[in-house]
């Protein structure tokens, strides 16, 4: 049972990584990430 549970967790993690990579490759999401990072940097400087 542990082997099955471990395999299932591994498969879910691999799928999540695949989805994150696909979403991160989209230009609109890259723009949003840059804006968020710039906002965070401005907030830290104050």
Over the stretch 1-45, which tens digit does the pLDDT of each residue have? Answer: 899 999 999 999 999 999 999 999 999 999 999 999 999 999 876
* Structure confidence at residue 46 as a pLDDT band (50, 70, 90): low
Q: What is the pTM of this model?
A: 0.63
Structure token pair of residue 34: 């840059």
Maximal C-alpha separation, the chain: 53
Q: How long is the chain?
A: 46
What are the angstrom distances between the C-alpha of 27 and each of 14, 15, 20, 36, 41?
A: 23, 21, 13, 14, 21
Domain boundaries, the chain: 2-45
Q: What is the structure's pLDDT at 36?
A: 96
Q: What contacts 30, CB < 8 A, 6 or more positions away?
A: 24
């Amino acid at each position: 049972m542990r082997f099955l549970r471990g395999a299932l967790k591994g498969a879910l993690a691999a799928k999540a990584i695949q989805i994150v990579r696909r979403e991160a490759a989209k230009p609109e999401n890259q723009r949003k990430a840059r804006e968020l990072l710039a906002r965070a940097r401005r907030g830290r400087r104050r």
